[in-house]
Structure 1
Amino acid sequence: MNSSPASDVEQRQRLLDAWVEKRRQIAASEAEAAALLAERMRLLDDDVNDHPHHRDAIHRSMIAEYSAAGRLARGSVEYAFADACLLESEHPAVQKSFRRGDIAAAHVREIVRAGMIVRLAVREGRVDAETLGLYDAAALEVAEHDSPGRTRAMVRQIAASLAGETLVERHRRAQGERTVTVRSIDDGLALLQVVLPEHLAAAILDRLTRLARQVIATRDDQDPVLSSDTLDSGEDAVFLRDLAADDPHRDDPVLDDHHIDHDPHAIFGGDTFTTDPCIEHVPADDRTLDQVRADLLTDLLLASDPSSATGTGLDGIQAQIQVTIGAATLAGADERPAEFDGFGPLHPDIARDLAARAGGWSRLFLNHTGVVTATDAYSPTEAMRRHLRARDQHCRFPGCRMPAQRCQIDHNHDHARGGPTSNDNLSHLCLGHHTLKHPDIDDRYRWAARQLPGGDIEWTSPLGRRYSDMAPRRVMFV
């Protein structure tokens, strides 16, 4: 006898509740593990005090032992010890949340590392000691309700706002850390790593993605091109009569009548000619998006412009990023950091340089909480798009960080069911999350979304659970 729909829902809810509880227990256990590392560091201090001349050897030995016992890389163990010590000594509120299982280890990592500039500002006396507590409270407000990826972007903004000019100085120093490295990862592959300003890295990935999507969208329209190096080589050599009348290779002196006369497989018929009745077809281009991006990066670096080979107009595709900067900062009246939307603070000099090169900027009006309420555009349709891009920054499904310019604008309440085309019913969703609420999906698996006052999106899952995605707030740098 088949189970009833109600029992199916109950079973799914039970499994979801059990999974969420297990994840909470895992986070709490990881907090206990971090506390053990902090306790071990206290023993290290005692050992070093007894044998100060062997400080480095004692530390290296401890790291090696934990690395071997835990089957972890040395760098991972070193980071774990450092984070555990900072968590216990500098971030007690974050540690309590971690022990309760309200945040995961990934959240802790982002909070602790982004808080470095706040801790430095406190030590140097540029901000009050209470500032670190304010940072923890603000960071937890984000981390306990959002993914580690989004937490990273927000805590960097919070830390920059609280630390003031430290961020500008830090970005200026970091410019000197630009580098390119390569290391083997076996099987004939290598990892090429480039460290460069974040806005440039994001722009490079965005342009590679746009180029790759163009190649994939048009690759079926391309005619295969036979290399001239293979025209007259191998068992299936191409001869003069194989070529069209206007083919430039017909003038190649290597392709003379001698090759035709000695081709035993030549078959003539009307205006057609082939050297073999078994035609070999060129394999279809079935590369994935990542593979096409990697190939395009190679072409751009080693062979300049790939559009000369593909013929798909790739040279017309430009990268897109979104930056928010205060009017006074843009005019040079102050040096407050700008905001690289979806990533974090941006050096004001870089933002001003981008502004000078941009084809247009939108003036944004914010309320006291930092939410965009309007733009200065006059065209209704374009104004709404500009408003939504500025407000959303990324896909509005909880935890998703797909940039808004690569998302679709969705009617939260379906237009076909009476939903208005207005800013308070529109938001950006990536393709994967947009399809979750598509009307064609069976109601048993379909998600619903509605926009709340202020731009927050409330999602309802097929199980009836509700998840909120808060409208991104802009940190007011003061």
Structure 2
Amino acid sequence: MASNRDQESISGVATPEILVAQIQGWMEEQSRLAAKIQSNFAALADHADALAKLDNYPKAWDLEYKTLGNEVGGRVRLTGTAMTTMMVNAQAVVRDLPNTHAALGKGAIRFEHVKAIEQESRILHNLQHRQPNPPPFADQAEAAEQARLAAQVTALLADTTSSETAAPVISQEQMGDEALQAAQAQIVADLFARYEAAVLPHAYSKTPNQVRAIAKRIANQLTGATLDQRHQHAVDQRCVFVEPLDDGMAKISAVVEASLAYGVLDRITRQAKTILTANRAASRKRLENQEFDSTAATDPRTIDQLRADLLTDLLLTGVPHGHLTNGGESIQARVQITIPMLGLLTPEQLAKVRAQNPALQHVAGIDGNPILAGYGPIDHQTARNLTGQAPGVNRILLEPIVGSVLETDRYTPNTDLKRFLTARDGQCRFIGCGIKAARSEIDHTIPYSQGGKTTNTNLQYLCKSHHDLKHHSWTAQLEPDGIFKLTSPQGQQYVQEPLSQTMYQPPPAHPYENPYFGPPAPELEPQTVPPVGPAPPF
């Protein structure tokens, strides 16, 4: 028998039973809404496909998808890349997994289930992973189904290459290609139908992670791919990426073969243990010799810290060092540090400037936190190490009161105009993009071929992808103060401030002076919250 504490409200709002039922109901409604959004994304993808066929040139598909993806991204304040990915994935679900999409629309499964099922189904498109002679199946029904597919492919090939093939007349080679494509499409369609029928029932009773494991196994069985074939496909996806962390830190990840990854870990672990052993031996020697000098150099690093330092040393210099890292002395990469001008002032000078500019009284970090391009604020010592030791560093001094560039001091020489643009923009100016200037291209707002001048009021940084997109279907306008205005093909305008202003502009005296937010809502008289009713009827 349940106690009263299980049945009655403790907070005075609702019983746990009602709250749980409402959560379930609203999450089911969330799934239904997700299905509607997914349907629209799929329709956008179909529209992009149709436009690309009309355009009929190599980059058409890529540009049409990016155009619509960035149109959505600008409206909902998400990146165009993320929205383009949503279009592709939604189209795959609606086209290849219709029953899964329908289950989401009924609220029977969560979006996470759909994501797992769709992602694990992608291998079904890779017909090159299929073996010429798949392994025997566990039961006769599966063997019969495989035989039916093989017979169907043979029939398709025979029908298409028959001498009775209707007009238009095409070459035998062309007929063979079309027959092969038709056969492959039919095989893929059948594979998806069988895959969905086997996987979807599990989504009604299992978590997304459990469904993913089942889906992976079934997809691999259906393709008949060997471990070697799947491994080669996985090797093709290797990559390196960086994830920003807090407080001047970041995580670098590399997707590589497992044997290499564990080899890297083993090497830096053995090197770290060698350093630890040497440190312990030095400590014992000092004790044996009764050397108790408190100023003697010590290495307090743990094995994890040593491994991290050794890894960065190996990557940046090719040579591991046993000493403590200094955050920049060995770096041979190109970096850009932006330093607020107030960071050069003495405490007395800084106090005087703050007294003369009341708006600066409430500005945290404006008086000296340097900015690492592509990351954000970093500590002073790291900035000093980078700007003082590393070759190819841009040190840019900013006047923080108005956020405009005062001076540039580049260690590796470059043109003044490019240094100015790098200081002002910092990154690609397209909406939602964060690719830094060093990996972007300088673009004429008004094309040079149309009379556009090569000047700071007609130039901005755009990454390669957005550079192509701007010339394809978007229009741009650059204001003298660096404000960049983009207009989408549907007429929606987006205003982008240069990074140098957004990073250093003092905040408004009152938070609601921000133009993106309205005034604060009027304060209401406190009222008694009425009891929550029954769960929603869904």
Alignment TM-score, normalising by the size of structure 1: 0.42
* Larger RCO (CA under 8 A, 6+ residues apart): 2
